[in-house]
Chain A
């Protein structure tokens, strides 16, 4: 351990008590909300959709809380601090993606679905095959995403609290897992939504505070901040231009394009985001919630620019890399610096606040993922496929609660054994699978009259299989020192993100499956979906 690491560790120890206190306050408040929400939860609509009682603004905040993961808060700030402009490229894809949700998906989904993504995918189709496929892809996407958050939580806690060794990491993962199961099983969608709202407000307030403190140091002149960042980076003006991370070779450029496409098309296929549209009463409110989310998320990503370049300028890349090679602690270190520096009271307080915000961020996101995947298990696989529609509402909600416990346990186990996996790669993979397996069927179902059950099943399973297989044979899994299995090399697919290939394949398979299937689409069913999705007639 170098002297710098020891220094960082001792600084972390000083504020540990404060961080734990702040975080405990957050956990107590959210558990209180959860118990209150549990008492208000009486039927399936309450459990799955929060009684559809949230306003557009409240849901906009909750969507932001669901979407702005630790990966975007800590990861993007760190990537900007280390790679300059290339870190910013992520946030643009994450934001522009919301236009797909706004223009094509949110309102039709709200009007024609009820509890899960599969409600819309299976609307015109034979229920069992399409619900099975959509349920499986919902659970796979959510588990990838969940793993990323939980693995991230483990290493984050070790870093922020300055503890080393595997045991604290594993206990953190178990603790996060237990809390998310409690939120979901007791509070359902109402509890989860309020946890996400509280977290979004905390995250925005914390980020705004640090942004103002950083900009104040540069007389609120962004150009001066950028100049200081490029000077401190040691890379000169290249730090402010694209290319430091993705411009290295032809392959890294293609990899970046693949990632960019997956990000922009993935959001509108993420089940835990889509189910949020069911928590508002009308399609108009769903539209308003996306507009609010675009404003909040856009503002947040603009602030990550100040955070990232501020960390580069004020903390410096060497100190950031010493603390965490991937840059994940850039934002907390910056908070300490603008609060007065290591050892100062102001620095300790701000560091503790930002660390607690980071924990809150992880908890709110994992709760949303657990809810979406257990809802899909209960509603799609259990009630509709296994019990063939004979399960009552009580049984279905009970199945969802049991599923939340099982999914939580599986996620805890996988996270403990998979802590070598790169969290950012897992998130990017979840976006790629969502864009390849879910989005094609969602768009075809809503807008292509001839689309059939065979097309839907081909597209979902095909998109899922191709994206997962390409990752297995990519440098993420083998062939590089940073791979999951650095010792072996079976990586014949050169890109880390499969989107560039798997998304077109998902669309192509949906089209081919439809053309080659013997059955014809039911025009009456399509007319019904179209009338419902555009007018809200008969909406739940």
Chain B
């Protein structure tokens, strides 16, 4: 981790990396597996939570009758749906951190250590 500025390179230019090392990692099975494990988890989940959020937004705007249905006491569907957004956010955060600890951190550490 070199933080001294080099006179010829912009101070913020990425630390020089050996293109051959990068290429070897990028073509390796371990890195490809890591990329698959990351994208295969993060991308579908992003689509899912955005769709679920938009469903909630659209119901709030265009289905007031449904959202106003009483569930129990003064608690209606709108409040339950809103609180469910909180629940799904917490659950997705927990699922991702578990997935990352199991499937992303070990290969990332292995690749990094092998290269250094």
Interface residues of A (CB under 8 A from B): 43-45, 85, 88-89, 92-93, 95-96, 98-100, 102-104, 112, 114-116, 119, 123, 127, 222-224, 226-227, 230, 237-238, 240-243, 246-247, 253, 256-257, 260-261, 264, 283-284, 287-288, 290-291, 294-295, 298, 301-302, 379, 383-384, 388-393, 396, 447, 524, 527-528, 530-532, 534-540
Known A96-B85, A123-B14; judge A291-B23 contact (CB<8 A).
Answer: no
Contact (Cβ within 8 A) B50 A103: no
Main secondary structure of the interface of B (DSSP, over half): helix
B56 / chain A contacts, CB cutoff of 8 Å = 92
CA distance A45 to B38 in the complex (A): 29
Complex A-B, nearest 6 residue pairs according to Cβ-Cβ distance, in ascending order? A389-B10, A223-B73, A226-B74, A242-B60, A241-B68, A527-B26
CA distance A104 to B47 in the complex (A): 12
CA distance A257 to B60 in the complex (A): 10
Q: Which residue of B lies closest to A297 (CB)?
A: B89
Contact (Cβ within 8 A) B61 A534: no
Cβ-neighbour of A392 out of B5, B45, B53, B92 (below 8 A): B5
Cβ-neighbour of A396 out of B11, B14, B72 (below 8 A): B11
Contact (Cβ within 8 A) B112 A253: no
A291 / chain B contacts, CB cutoff of 8 Å = 93-94, 97
CA distance A535 to B94 in the complex (A): 21
Contact (Cβ within 8 A) B46 A257: no
Contact (Cβ within 8 A) A537 B23: no
Contact (Cβ within 8 A) A287 B11: no
Q: Which residue of B lies closest to A393 (CB)?
A: B5
Contact (Cβ within 8 A) A530 B35: yes
- Chain B 63-103 per-residue mask, 1 if CB under 8 angstroms from chain A, else 0: 01001100011111011001001100110111011001000
Number of chain B residues whose Cβ lies closer than 8 Å to a Cβ of chain A? 65
B100 / chain A contacts, CB cutoff of 8 Å = 284, 287
Contact (Cβ within 8 A) B90 A298: yes
A45 / chain B contacts, CB cutoff of 8 Å = 3
**Extra 4 A-B pairs, beta carbons < 8 Å, given A89-B82, A534-B35:** A260-B53, A388-B10, A393-B3, A538-B15
